[in-house]
Amino acid sequence: MGFELFSHPADIGVRAWGDSLEEALEEAALGLVAVQTDLDLIEPREERRLEVVSPDEEFLLFDFLNEVVFFMAREKMLFGQVKVFLEQKENQFFLEAKMKGEKIKPEKHKPAVEIKGVSWHELKVKRKGKGYWVQCVLDV
Amino acid sequence: MLKAKLKQVDKYIYEYPVEALMQVPARIFADQDILADLEDKVIHQLVNVASLPGIVGAALAMPDVHSGYGFPIGGVAAFDPGAGGIISGGGVGFDIACGVRTLRTPLSLKDLKAREELLADELFRTIPAGVGSRGKLKLSLKEMDKLLSEGASWAVKKGFGVEEDLEFIEEKGVAQGARPDFVSAKAKQRQEAEMGTLGSGNHYLEVQVVKEIYDVKKAQLMGLGLNQVVVSIHCGSRGLGHQIGTDYMREMVLAAKKSGYFLADRELAFAPIYSKLGEQYLGAMRAGINCALANRQIITHWVREVFKRIFGSEVLPLLYDVSHNTCREEVHEVKGKKRVLFVHRKGATRAFGPGHPELPLKYRPIGQPVLIGGSMGTSSYVLVGTKKGMELSFGSACHGAGRVMSRNQAKKSFSGRELIASLAQKGIVIRGHSWRGLAEEAPLAYKDVTRVVEVCAQVGLVEKVARLEPVVVVKG
């Protein structure tokens, strides 16, 4: 499992992979935070929980990451640890995530850019072997 | 290579002819240099836009165009609601009504008397910017709804600026038909602490000096003279606008999924203008416009306070305020017939020509002021719209320099510290919240704004009035 950031003319993309969809989504969320700051600088001081319900795997990636963006923006927080729990019932995905992190401290975290949202552009969720590979472009 | 199919139809106009699903041709305003650098992806995206239902005339790209997602950045597309025309969240962008406003000061460069450093510190301290910054205002939900309905007019009522300012904002400072009830609770929550904040990325506040005047009469009418100090503010609708974009892009993509409509890129997802979702997005987007207008109005007030504290100058009149990520209902003449169209401008500025009834009386003889922001440390321009632009581009022009280098590349190629040192050598004082953020906004990561403006002027979309150079730059 892991993630990498890639270039897009005006923005930044995130690719992530893992042995399960849960793991790939966790990595994607960490990739998103890494666009703003060095993950090692984030201490797990506070926990936040979020839930999303989505009609397919690609909506799930879009909905989950946008929910992370919302929490970061509203609570002015950065998350360095993410745990995703997933359930599938009647063509709906139910996701719950627990995220640990702390409030943004500009001197400490030196956040570079604010993420406006996750776009649909080149957004992909693929099965790779037994695992998953996901990709999206962030509007910053 | 799609580029090979472009036909030159005029000195600076290149056209991609109608083929396959395209309803209209695609047109690019460019010179040979800009064309040589043009990404094939931009043409691909224009072709997709030209294939959307109800599009009128042509899918247009300004000289500062670069590839976006779905729609290119620097694009203009007009849709006829009566002909099945659509509205698209991706055609407006996440940062609804991001834009530029310029204030005149009574000072000339020599009046600053080496107080640039103090001015930079005071502006940096007074106007919240950067990731994680909190505004000084906290609004109740009820107050937020008023703001979303009344835009800059709400801000003036609250004591931010003066009534006269409203005259010099597009739509007189209020997007009519805004529907706060179509804006999600999340979007409003995200905005709670963000009114009066600059944001990050390419947003800025600059103290500039008028370095060159191209048209003395028009400059005089605008109140601009050589060496005069002006202030420009570039920012948008903050978290609220971003969340509206996210919310409605989801709804539009979901609608396409349900109906089985094929989208070449899901960021092209849309709703017919005459549909429930279309009306909802339109109402929410207009509320987003009002949020951006109020935001720039609040920042304006604080800028004025800083100038009053340091220079004792009471009045900094608003020259004009333009938004460059919008969709607006406008009347345009198409083949001799007046039609009501919904004009998407994503990274493009409205540039109405002389005599347009939407313009304040003061500017009606010369056309709408068009404010073009450069990249950090480079020139900005004051232009005016033309009659020819009304015919060629639905009264639109470029919005800035346009990126040529990704943020990742820029971050690797430049250092924030070195950048500041090199700008300091040119006499520019910079305050920023992040070295990395500064590096990503390095001037070389952008096209040459002068060339972009020159092409717009050569085509006749605008006339040049003045060129501004930065003295103090505050970045988010």
CB distance B18 to B7 below 8 Å: no
> Across the interface, do A9 and B246 touch by the CB < 8 Å criterion?
no
Hey, are the CB atoms on B246 and A66 less than 8 Å from each other? yes
Interface residue A42 vs chain B (CB under 8 A)? no
Can you state the angle between helices A57-75 and A21-36, rounded to 10 degrees?
A: 40
Domain that holds residue A88: 2-139
CB pairs < 8 Å spanning A and B: 133
**Partners of residue A119 in chain B, C-beta under 8 Å:** 69, 90, 94, 249, 267
Question: What's the CATH number where A31 sits?
Answer: 3.55.10.10
Q: Which two tokens stand for residue B36?
A: 């040589």
Question: Taking CB atoms and an 8 Å limit, are A117 and B407 in contact across chains?
Answer: no
Determine the residue type at B148. Answer: L
Buried b (16+ CB within 10 A) or exposed e, B208-242: bbbbebebeebbebbebeeebbbbbbbbbbbbbbb
A11 contacts chain B (CB < 8 A):
yes
Tell me whether A85 touches chain B (CB under 8 Å). no
Choose among B70, B73, B407: nearest Cβ to A140.
B407
State the Cα–Cα distance between residues B14 and B12, nearest whole angstrom.
7
CATH of B2-81+98-475, picked from 3.40.50.720, 3.50.50.60, 1.10.150.120, 3.90.1860.10, is 3.90.1860.10
CB < 8 Å to A62, chain B? 250, 253
Catalytic residue among B234, B242, B399, B433: B399
The whole-angstrom distance between A93's CA and the closest CA on chain B is 15
- Determine whether the interchain pair B254/A55 forms a contact, defined as Cβ–Cβ distance below 8 Å: yes
Task: Give the distance from residue B207's alpha carbon to the nearest chain A alpha carbon, in angstroms.
Answer: 23
Contact B454, B366 (CB under 8 A): no
Among residues B341, B345, B343, B302, which one has the least CA distance to residue B322? B345
Tokens 């064309």 map to which residue? B35
Identity of the residue in B267, B436, B476 whose CB atom sits nearest the CB atom of A121: B267
- Could you give the CA distance from residue B304 to residue B207 in angstroms, rounded to a whole number? 12
Residue in A closest to B266 by C-alpha: A120
**Helices (H), ranges, B223-370:** 238-259, 276-311
Q: Which ipTM value was assigned to this complex?
A: 0.95
Interface contact flag, B192 A74, Cβ < 8 Å: yes
Tell me if residue B449 falls in helix, strand or coil.
helix
Residue of A74, A76, A124, A135 best to disrupt the B interface, most CBs of B under 10 A: A74
**Judging by beta carbons within 10 Å of its beta carbon (0-12, 13-18, 19+), is residue A97 exposed, middle or buried?**
buried
Do residues B57 and B77 lie in contact, with contact meaning Cβ atoms separated by under 8 Å?
A: no
The beta-carbon neighbor of A114 closest among B192, B200, B257 is B200
Q: What is the pLDDT of residue B412?
A: 83
pLDDT at A96 over 90: yes
Question: Which residues of chain B make contact with A120, given a CB cutoff of 8 A?
Answer: 69-70, 90, 249, 253, 265-267, 269
Tokens of B58: 């042509």
- Which runs of E-coded beta strand occur in B200-300? 204-213, 228-235, 271-272
- Asked whether the beta carbons of residue B66 and residue A10 sit closer than 8 angstroms, the reply is yes
To the nearest whole Å, the CA of B32 is away from the closest chain A CA by: 21
Helix B276-311 / helix B238-259 crossing angle, nearest 10 deg: 160
Q: How many domains are contained in chain A? A: 1
pLDDT band at A10 (very low <50, low <70, confident <90, very high): low
Q: What is the full per-residue pLDDT of chain B (476 aa) written as tens digits?
A: 899 999 999 999 999 999 999 999 999 999 999 999 999 999 999 999 999 999 999 999 999 999 988 999 999 999 999 999 999 999 999 999 999 999 999 999 999 988 999 999 999 999 988 877 777 888 899 999 999 999 999 999 999 999 999 999 999 999 999 999 999 999 999 998 899 999 888 899 999 999 999 999 999 999 999 999 999 999 999 999 999 999 999 999 999 999 999 999 999 999 999 999 999 999 999 999 999 999 999 999 999 999 999 999 778 999 999 999 999 999 999 999 999 999 999 999 999 999 999 999 999 999 999 999 988 888 999 999 999 999 999 999 999 877 778 887 888 888 888 888 888 888 899 998 777 788 888 888 888 899 999 999 999 999 999 999 999 999 87
Give the chain A residue nearest B244 (alpha carbons): A117
CA B123 – CA B475 distance, rounded (Å): 10
* φ/ψ of residue B246, rounded to 5: -60, -50
8 Å CB contact between A30 and A61: no
Question: CA of A123 to nearest chain B CA: how many angstroms apart?
Answer: 9
Q: Is residue A94 within 8 angstroms of chain B, CB to CB? A: no
Question: CB–CB of B239 and A74 under 8 A?
Answer: yes
Kindly calculate the radius of gyration of chain B based on its CA atoms and give it in whole angstroms. Answer: 21
Nearest-neighbour CA in chain B from A17: distance (Å): 21
**What is the residue-wise DSSP string for B315-345?**
---EEEEEESEEEEEEEEEETTEEEEEEEEE
How far apart are the C-alpha atoms of B183 and B90, rounded to whole Å? 17
Q: Is B399 a catalytic residue?
A: yes
- Chain B positions touching A123 (Cβ under 8 A) are 266
A123 touches chain B (CB under 8 A): yes
Q: For B93, which residue in chain A has the nearest alpha carbon?
A: A139
A contacts of B66 (beta carbons < 8 Å): 9-10
- Listed by start position, the domains of chain B span 2-81+98-475
* Alpha-carbon distance A133 to nearest alpha carbon in chain B (angstroms): 19
Residue appearing with tokens 């039609």: B339
CB B409 within 8 A of CB B440: no
Q: How far is B267 from chain A (nearest CA, A)?
A: 5
Contacts A7 to B, Cβ<8 Å: 406-409
Per-residue pLDDT, B136: 83
Q: Contact A106/B131, CB-based, under 8 Å?
A: yes
